[in-house]
Chains A and B, each alone.
Chain A
Amino acid sequence: MGRYVARRLLLTIPVLLGASFLIFAMVYALPGDPIRALAGDRPVPPAVVAVLNERFHLNDPLWVQYWEYLKALFTGDLGTDFRGRPVLDTIARTLPVTIKLTVVAVLFEIVIGIVAGVLAGIRRNSFFDNFVLVSTTVIVSIPILVLAFLTQLLFGLKLGWFPIAGTREGFYSYVLPGLVLASGSLAYVARLTRTSIAENMNADYVRTARAKGLPQRTVIVRHMLRNSLIPVVTFIGADIGALLGGAIVTETVFNLPGIGREVFNSVKAQEGAVVVGIVTLLVFFFILFNLIVDVLYAVLDPRIRYD
């Protein structure tokens, strides 16, 4: 196990470096002149241009620029945007919003997804089962962009149940965007749980539990859920990494000042340092949660051993 984790951690390094270099190359290979963009219409004295070029390594080849970036990264310095604000501060300001949004989304996945999946799985081919199958297909097909506007329109404007933008109402502001962000994964969790429960319905250990005279609820909650939820737990774990990086549209439409909206605004403004910093962090989260899940698999399912 220890060796497996160490090996996986080592394999993480080239992926992390590669992904951040890919973004770095895309952001900095562009021929635009950031200093001119920064100055706008006003003329910039050549001396200022020289100083800025020197400070931001703008005249060096891409490899050198990336190397300088990495060196700074290891000292905890993610650079500054063109106004001189440290990228680290921007991340510290926006990340909590995205984490809250992700927590709400995962709660929706767990509560709605698993309950719907269990109810559908124990009564296969019932009305409810078919309802879950059809509704998950529909939910998966609604682009998040559309879902965001539809829920805003219905629950925000028409019914007035939820705020439609911003974070002023605390936790309550996150309910609608959280549900929108969770929708697709929620449908997938429901399906995964359903399949998994249905497969275990006829397992020997379930028959044994029934034969002992245990009530239905105990059989399901104490015996079946434990085994059936292994793939679900691992999916949700990996999904956390994806949700953290996937909230661009949700945060933009609901106007949440999170990391997704920040990275989108930075891409628009060509704030290279912010984009590279945030994307590197998101890639790191994605890889980290996938690694956790792979290790978790062995902990939850003793049949899997990595050595």
Chain B
Amino acid sequence: MTEQQQRLDPAQIEVDVTAGIGTTPVDGTHARQNSLWSDAWGSLKRNVLFWIGAFLTVLLTLMAILPQVFARGVDPRACDLANSKALPSADHWFGYDVQGCDYLANVVYGARNSLIIGIFAVLVILVLGVLVGAIAGYFGGATDSVLSRITDIFYALPLILGALVLLRVGPSTNIPIINSRGPGAVALALALFGWMTAMRLVRSQVIAVKSSDYVSAARAMGASNSRILIRHILPNAVAPVLVFTTITIGVLIAAEATLTFLGVGLQRPAISWGLQIAAGESSIRSAPHLVLFPSIVLTLTVMAFIMMGDALRDALDPRQRS
């Protein structure tokens, strides 16, 4: 993935999914709604890439919850300098790192931080994006102009660059969480510079359906603004937001590893793929496995989410069905 994409600009999401779902407002009866999702499931079931992605995701989740099982009971912090940079062997599949720690255990234990940051950041992004996008789209006018300009401002800043600056100055401020140098700070920094695409998705969905007859009907029956938004308008945005969320978790995990590699993300003694790649960089000639293994696992993680998101988009886009 390019850094450009780490701007969280899956433009393809907006183009492909919004047009498809937005123009067919859900008509409220359950039969119709069920058919969208059951059609999607039918198409997902036949998609090999979806199953590969789903399998990898389950595997990684288990790894994050029960790392000791996957590390075969080895403690990642039990190290012996005599083993420094030893190459992979039958007993120690990933070899040893510079400090002589079992590398398989270290790579396995790295999954937890990556997943926690990816999921926490995407949740904050969803809250921010849905809230701002729904308000901007529903109320329109000056509210929309102001909120859209604010979104443009954040959108013009590359994700990595914005998060880099914030995390660099973060520890010397007195803002809670941001000054912690922990997973929470990284997740918040990523969310703060990554919510804009979600906002635009939700905003365009809201605008697409807010003038339809069933919304007018709900309003005529005296429904409040918040009820109309939550019950009648936002359900239309679920499909594209789901696609966005899945892909974005992958993008955020890659961004976390990048920030940590650059030295502003997680800090030692935390266990993280970004730290492992950064530490392995200096011995890339003598012990390339130190860069290789965390890189491969990181790539598989990102790929798992992107594959599932791609498959979901294909499945949820009615125009592609024959």
Contacts and interface: CB of A to CB of B under 8 A. Distances in A.
B306 A246 contact: no
Contacts of A183: 1-2
B308 to A, nearest CB: 11
Given A138-B303, A149-B284, A181 B2 contact: yes
A138 B152 CA distance: 30
Contact of A141 (B1, B12, B161): B1
Contact of B157 (A23, A145, A192): A23
Contact of A184 (B1, B160, B292): B1
Contact of B4 (A146, A152, A185, A192): A185
B295 A150 contact: yes
A168 interface: no
Contacts of B3: 144, 181, 246-250
A22 to B, nearest CB: 6
A197 B254 CA distance: 31
A246 B158 contact: yes
Interface residues of B, number: 54
Contact of A22 (B49, B153, B254, B274): B153
Nearest to B149: A14
Interface stretch (A77-85, A87-95, A117-125, A281-289): A281-289
A247 B302 CA distance: 20
Nearest to A150: B295
Main secondary structure of the interface of B (DSSP, over half): helix
A141 B27 CA distance: 37
Contacts of A23: 157, 162, 165
A246 B169 contact: no
A249 B262 contact: yes
Nearest to A146: B295
Interface in B263-322: 263-264, 274, 277, 281, 284-285, 288, 291-292, 295, 298-299, 302-303, 306-307, 310
Contacts of B149: 11, 14-15, 18
A248 B161 contact: yes
Interface of B: 1-7, 9, 11-12, 49, 149-150, 152-154, 156-158, 160-162, 164-166, 168-169, 172-174, 250, 254, 257-258, 261-264, 274, 277, 281, 284-285, 288, 291-292, 295, 298-299, 302-303, 306-307, 310
7 contacts: A143-B257, A144-B1, A145-B277, A149-B281, A184-B2, A245-B161, A268-B263
